Amino acid sequence: MAIQQDSRPALPPRPSATNEIAFAGCAKTPPSWLTALVHHYEGDKKHAHEFFLSRHFVDGAEIVLICKKCHKRFALTTSIPTSTEETISQMNVKRGMCVVNRENHLHHLHTTNSTKTNVASECCYCHFTVNVVIYEPYIDVQIFDELQKTRPIPTYSNAARRINGAENEPNILETLELLSNIIKTLATSDSSRKLNLNSKQFISKISYDKASKAFFDKLEYKLEDDQYLTPPQLTEDYIIKSKHVSEEIDMRIMDISEKASRGCTISYEEPYGKLETILGTKCTSLN
């Protein structure tokens, strides 16, 4: 995994009152705005979001972040004030400079909206705006939690037990990897779409229980003859959904691998460098 610790926004010592970092508090410079975004939760389990760049929105107009912990997506767009007409000024705004604030060229971002699903801010100097729309994951994280309850995280000791034949239960990483594989090959392979619940592979790596049923329900699979799971018609929307689901599975695989101190072949880019360029957290002089 790429280590980009130094590009992360500096987090202040945790204050006892959350007001200082919440969007409802005072107006923010870009670094403290980013800190507020990392700590933005409304009615959720408290956590600092661990953002990665989503792979499925790369059209340049918006940046989409996915949190490794809650799997929510944060779609961020910015707009340059229409009054900024000179091309050179527009370019500077694009590079994250506040062209009106001559003192340090940092935007001063005032919150215009802060809810569970949206954060919007505007710079009081130049009217540059940032808008963040927050989407719920396709597969609730609770479903992953449930899968994990009955499927152990692989350790060397249960690998040894398995070799001795004492254990033949799926472990959570095998389950997630096979689920990921099923989702990823949906659009490309014809033959493997129909899943046989009685197949050796399904039993040993996934196993059909309440938790895995909930997962397939979310993907609108239907049970046939008490033995086969079949996906719905593969529409364009469904393919897009499946790509997001595969990203959500990746996030959980990364999370478990990290907790179990195991190597992980999946890696996603961290977004902080990109965010700093857009919001101007590092910019202190015009050049």
Q: How far is the CB of 171 from Zn ion (least distance, A)?
A: 25
Beta strand extents in the chain (DSSP E only) = 51-53, 63-67, 73-79, 109-114, 118-123, 129-135, 195-196, 222-224, 228-230
39 or 193: CB nearest Zn ion: 39
231 or 280: CB nearest Zn ion: 280
Q: How far is the CB of 146 from Zn ion (least distance, A)?
A: 19
Q: Tokens 């472990």 appear where?
A: 171
141 or 147: CB nearest Zn ion: 141
Identity of the amino acid at 188: T
Neighbours of 61 (CB within 10 A): 9
114 or 158: CB nearest Zn ion: 114
Residues in touch with Zn ion (CB under 5 A): 27, 49, 67, 69-70, 98, 107-108, 123-126, 128
Q: Is 119 in a helix, a strand, or coil?
A: strand
Q: How far is the CB of 272 from Zn ion (least distance, A)?
A: 15
Q: How far is the CB of 266 from Zn ion (least distance, A)?
A: 18
Beta-ladder partners of 133: 75, 118
Residue (of 188, 173, 163) closest to 255 by Cα position: 173
